[in-house]
Amino acid sequence: MCGIVAYVGPKDAAPILLEGMQRLEYRGYDSAGIVVSNKGLKVRKCKGRVADLAKVVPARFKGGLGIGHTRWATHGVPSDENAHPHLSADQRIAVVHNGIIENAGELRAKLIADGVEFASETDTEVLAHMIAHAADENDTLEEAVRKTLKSVVGTYGIAVIDAERPGEVVVARNGSPIVLGIGEKEMFAASDVAALVRYTRQVVHLEDGELAVLKADGFHTFASDARETAKEPLTVDWDAGHYDTGGYEHYLLKEISEQPETITRTMSGRLDERFHVAHLGGLNMDARETRGFRRVKIIGCGSAYYSGQIGAQLIEELARIPSDAEPASEFRYRNPVVDPDTLYVAISQSGETYDTLAAVQELKRKGGRVIGIVNAVGSAIAREVDGGIYLHAGPEVSVASTKAFSSTAVAFALLALHLGRVRDLSPADGRRIVEGLRRLPGQIEEILTQSDKIAELAQKYATHASMMFVGRVRGYPVAREGAQKLKEISYVHAEAYPASELKHGPLALIGPDMPTVAIVPDDELLDKNLTTLGEIRARGGRVLMVGHREPEAKLADDVIVIPKNEIELDPILLTIPLQLLAYHAAVALDRDVDKPRNLAKSVTVE
């Protein structure tokens, strides 16, 4: 879950590495470091952010070849010593690494027995020493890296340089992304295109088990058995401007505010007003095959999982196909029964989430039909699945997902409409959903105008140590996502429960010091939800209600009223005020909004 940047070319590497690392800091930010090659290896690294590193990099830190890294700790506490790059004992080899070497303990013990002294607690340092040993026995750096990786068990995205070969960088991937950037007589590599788009939009994605050698005049790729592989460059749609804050105080607020535009892009070209259907050609399924599925299973992690719960509800309601969502991190470990009549849907904003990717690979091994809902074109999951839906939401930089979450929910509405119309969803209901989807962007804009009011509410509720979020049926995944947002960026403890489950245990927690955020849409369960509010109020609990109208009785201390859409689509709108609530609570508590502690954006390790 770290950020890697590499450069080889005629320019000074250090400024390019530092700028790229700043764009990747959302992937890891407890320490950082760079190394450049110029008559030996010059290294600077430190605990802290890329800005802290920039302060200790001298002005004359010259060299046209270098690698950089932002770290999210897995082995060893954040410290100067544990920061990457890691060097071999003879200072010849430098390595940066994203992932986890599972047999690092065994490899480390062998190296210590051979007299190697370690300078850090990391698993990565074993690679530097092993590659240095292999380099003494081989003519090329690429062969030394390839030989070393044969002994490695685990996941990695690595970049390696050799002081004795100052014109090349070797990179390798297994379970952790590496993207090559093709410049004009210069080459780049990174763990995310965010670090590359300022310099080039021509990229090549490495597959698992692939390595590449980068020189200023080009690159070549090869498999772990040394067999050459052919790669075709892709042109990425995003540019450097997509990674700027655009005048907003935080990326998170920018991304919340972009949602009218991002969900419009998700729907663009996919709604048919004549037949009231959704066109999803990327699924690679004809109508006969689509009708053959008898169940839908959705897998994702974190917010992607909660959006999957919204998606399962949409598919059941509109297509009348039994559907459910499950955490991808648990799915593959319970030896799931893979049914040929089940359509599996994998969700990942980055398309690189390791748990989800591994689950997809397990499904493919067992013959499952898997489609993906991802944001990053050309990502690992996008390449692995049989078809899918790209979100086109643009890059999401803040660790907490907002615009990708709402775009994913809209993508599920499109999928549910598509499945429903090839089955039993009537043209009238199809028209109703299409018209509802068309209204969403304007309704989100309307909700965003309440930001100042929600900020005042956040000031009041953020003083509590814990909060409860409740909702029924369609409202329950909204409550779960709302609780997730609050705790991950404000550090206020939050739990989400189905409203009907409160009286089966959690009601014991309710009191003046435990406020409840209640999701109360104006649907067939309105009266039951209002009864739950009465139960909370009777026990002295404070209530912040999010719904479509003020309750008739004094059942809530505060109310956020939002526009009403079709009942199936209302959950998409109900999430927006909860995003604002979490954001303003985090600001009120002076949290690091875009980079919450202990978390990283793209989770590429188990």
Which active-site residues does the annotation give? Answer: 2, 601
C-alpha 15 chain-centroid distance: 27
State how far the Cα of 243 lies from the Cα of 194, in Å rounded to an integer. Answer: 7
C-alpha dihedral sign at 571, 576, 577, 581: positive
Burial class (CB in 10 A: 0-12, 13-18, 19+), 529: buried
Q: CB–CB of 26/397 below 8 Å?
A: yes
| Helices assigned H by DSSP within 320-468 | 328-331, 354-365, 380-384, 403-421, 427-448, 451-461
Q: DSSP code of 561? A: E
| Helices assigned H by DSSP within 212-286 | 251-257, 259-267
| Per-residue tokens: 482 | 């709302």
| Per-residue tokens: 582 | 């979490």
State how far the Cα of 558 lies from the Cα of 51, in Å rounded to an integer. Answer: 41
In angstroms, how far apart are the furthest CA atoms of the chain?
81
* Edge-to-edge order in the sheet of strand 558-561: 493-498, 466-471, 516-520, 543-547, 558-561
For helices 303-319 and 570-588, angle between their N-to-C axes, nearest 10 degrees = 160
